[in-house]
Amino acid sequence: MGKEIVAMLLAGGKGTRLEALTRKIAKPAVSFGGKYRIIDFPLSNCANSRIDTVGVLTQYESVFLNTYVGNGEKWGLNGVHSLTASLPPRQTEEGAAWYKGTADAIYQNIDFLDSLQPEFVLILSGDHIYKMDYQLMLDAHKANNADLTVAVIDVPLKEASRFGIMSVNEEMLITKFTEKPSKPTSTLASMGIYFFNYKVLKSALTLDAKDESSEHDFGKNIIPYLLGKKKKLLAYRFEGYWKDVGTLASLWSANMDLIDDEDALDLYSTSDDLKIFSEDTHSVPQYVGRTASVTKSMVNQGAIVLGTVDHSVIFNEVLIEEGAHVVDSVIMPGAVIKGGAYVRMAIVASDTTINGDRRIDGQDNIVLVTN
Amino acid sequence: MKKVMGLCNLHSLSSLNDLTNSRPIASTSFLGRYAFIDFPLSNFSNSGIDEVGILVKNHPRSILKHLGSTNVWNTNTKLGYEAIMYNERYSHAPSYNHDINNIIANDWIFYNAKPDVFVIAPAHILYPIDFRPVIAAHENGKAAITIIYASINDGKTQFVDGDQIGLDASGRINELTSNKGAKDDIDVSLETYIINSSQLQDLISIARKTSSFYSLRDAVAHAIGLGWNVAGYKHTGYVRHFGSLQHYRKHSLDLLRYDNRKELFTDVWPIYTVTHDTPPAKYGPEAQVKNCFIANGSRINGKVFNSIISRNVVIEEGAVIKNSIIFTDTKIGKNVHISNAVIDKYVRVEAVKDIAGTEEEPIYVKQGDRL
């Protein structure tokens, strides 16, 4: 018997706009929220949605991500009926090629999907911070007998041109889909989360692979193609917190959202199946010293705070020395802020040391500090 | 290479008064993040000992809950294990519920696990140690038993009712007695024994022939009397004996001092524990925290000084906590003042506004209480 759902997580992108943060790691592996990596969110969502089979498509700096994903144990995706597979590009009888686009990445793993015989394939990306029960989306997909269901969220009109924007009719069926429109006519943005009937997906990908003019992209090619074929495309409206963290500014503000709006992501929920799972770091207990002041902040285990921290997110194994001042900043694992240093409106990358004579202030922009 | 098996011995009685009414010290919370048993298990793990038996005396529920089905301490998750060794038959017969009878009931360790050497270590004496050089010294000296010991200078108040040893000029142990607190400068047994398999079996048969009430410690004392070659191996560095609630509170809070912390927690000797996937600790605008360990998942908006705050604890604004230890999932309401107290799990303090113990007699609040 085949699997009802197989999730395919697109995690191959570099994330150029995150600058030096993705110099050595792929965007989905970027640190977030004091203890997590971005990819923990979709993988935890899969676990909490009781999806047990996940393929993670990796490409840029794939070794670290493949290792991090491992057998899925961090998210409990290694149980008896579970399967977690990292899927970087590979050599086959037909030769070897990089993934040429999101659709091509899935197409190159059609044999993986065939072996699992899924009824539905859930396409996810490793770029977003949100909590979502994918089963509710599948319920809508089934109830409407859709061929494809796209998760959508309302965005401000001025931001709409950054997203795949769609128009829908009164039954929430998609009538028009434009990838990054210069003059958006709707504010319903695609979240890059798709539920496909596998048969529909497979035939569309197979045709697309033969089309030399295609960019092999879900937003630009596959969805318009299915619309043209009069397939039933449903928009599923999501109303929770969702944030694309593709830029330094958005990554910073999503971190700050955890402090300023605790209910948005509900990280402190006591319900087990709303937790975000992550790597365990075997850190020492978090110590806050006699000379410390910590307010409006999140601080992870293993951190040592002897200085002043206000409105900031402090990761594991960070040392804030006495006399150091950290405000409105994100300090990633292993960074050291020496006594006398002042850091404001900044993201300090992992294992970076800020010397005591430095004064860093991103002011209206967020500044990234690396070694 | 000799095959080594670790036995974590929870039989040697150590009561922390009310704290250990429904749990052994092994699974009692420590520093907000650990259970005591994490330390011997990490010593085994870091020493390359992957096969471990846990000699459980009572409250197996609490031990099982902590160990769960995780592979936190094992290098190879197929070959390594932590086996629960429990003697159901004598669980309600205190005189017979000792480590010798437990090992007899679990004699598979001799016939299936078949190690050459056993390392037997308790959970109520805390110290970081690499067992490999101890085993090497044990073998080089052709000792029948090697006992790890420490020289202390506060024997009148520490290790009271623990084991004191006497050493002859050649470093052999010629006496094993109980420390009644008469002298400060004494050598104390860390109740850690290195013993070859055949000699452990000999020791057990001596015990059976002599007294049905003999514990392992009694048998070792008896063997010393018979002239066995019992060597001492001196441990220097951090070591603490947890014999009472006062010790528990004092030794825990003493670790807030850097010179103690740096001896117990080093980069080369990680302490492993079970992850609970809790988010980083969160500090509110009114938070004021000085000289504390703060565990993940806690949310603090009050004042906390010289204290240890465990997982998922909530401290509301206006609350003041001094010189205290708060266990997991406890809530301290607005304007509540607490000093010199140990507050167990799942407690809510809201109605009572003042809980004050003294250093000599800390107040203990039971698990689940409402105040």
What are the structural domains of chain B? 4-264 (3.90.550.10), 282-365 (2.160.10.10)
Burial of A323 (0-12, 13-18, 19+ CB in 10 A): middle
| pLDDT, position B254 | 95
**Which among B32, B261, B287 has the least Cβ separation from residue A294?**
B287
The alpha helices in chain B, defined as continuous H runs, are: 38-46, 60-67, 99-105, 108, 131-140, 197-210, 216-225, 245-254, 258-264
For chain A, 371 residues long, the average pLDDT of each consecutive 10-residue run is 92 84 90 97 96 95 94 91 94 90 95 96 95 96 97 92 92 93 92 96 96 94 95 95 92 96 83 83 93 98 97 98 98 98 97 96 92 86
Contact A196, A134 (CB under 8 A): no
Q: In this structure, what token pair is assigned to residue A240?
A: 């929770």
Rg (CA), chain A: 21
Contact A207, A103 (CB under 8 A): no
The region, left, alpha or beta by phi > 0 then psi within -120 to 50, assigned to residue A75 is alpha
Percent with pLDDT over 90 in chain A: 83
Contact A116, A153 (CB under 8 A): no
3-state SS, residue B200? helix
Contact B336, B371 (CB under 8 A): no
Contact B309, B323 (CB under 8 A): no
Rg (CA), chain B: 21
What domains can you pick out in chain A, each with its CATH number?
5-262 (3.90.550.10), 281-369 (2.160.10.10)
| pLDDT, position B70 | 67
Average model confidence (pLDDT) for chain A? Answer: 94
How confident is the model over B165-176, as a mean pLDDT? 93
Tell which B residues from 298 to 317 touch A, by Cβ distance under 8 Å: 299, 308, 312
B12-48 pLDDT per residue, tens: 866 777 888 878 888 899 999 999 999 999 999 999 9
| Residue among A40, A80, A300, A301 with most chain B CBs within 10 A, to mutate | A301
Q: Does B153 touch chain A (CB under 8 A)?
A: no
Per the CB < 8 Å rule, is A276 touching B280? no
For residue A286, list chain B residues with Cβ-Cβ distance below 8 A: 281, 293-296
Helices (H) and strands (E) in chain A, counts: 9, 30
**Interface residues on A facing B, Cβ-Cβ cutoff 8 A:** 33-35, 259, 262, 267-268, 270, 275-278, 280, 282, 284-290, 292-301, 313-315
A151-162 pLDDT per residue, tens: 999 999 988 998
Terminal CA-CA length for chain B: 57
Cβ atoms < 10 Å from Cβ of B129? 23
What are the C-alpha distances in Å from B52 to residues A139, B44, B65, B288, B332?
A: 47, 8, 17, 43, 39
3-state SS, residue B150? strand
| pLDDT, position B51 | 93
CA angle B27/B33/B35 to nearest 5° reads: 15
Cβ atoms < 10 Å from Cβ of B308? 28
Contact B115, B4 (CB under 8 A): yes
Contact B216, B163 (CB under 8 A): no
A73-89 pLDDT per residue, tens: 999 999 888 999 999 99
φ/ψ (deg, to 5) at B236: -115, 155
User: Tell me, what DSSP letter sits at residue B113?
Assistant: I
Please list, residue by residue across B37-48, b when 16 or more beta carbons sit within 10 angstroms of its beta carbon and e when fewer do: bbbbbbbbbbbe
What angle do helix axes B216-225 and B197-210 make, rounded to 10 degrees?
90
Contact B302, B313 (CB under 8 A): no
How confident is the model over B333-358, as a mean pLDDT? 95
**Nearest-neighbour CA in chain A from B268: distance (Å):** 12
Say what the alpha-carbon torsion angle B278, A18, A129, A204 is, to the nearest 10 degrees.
-130
Cα nearest neighbour of A40 on chain B? B277
3-state SS, residue A361? strand
Per the CB < 8 Å rule, is B296 touching A286? yes
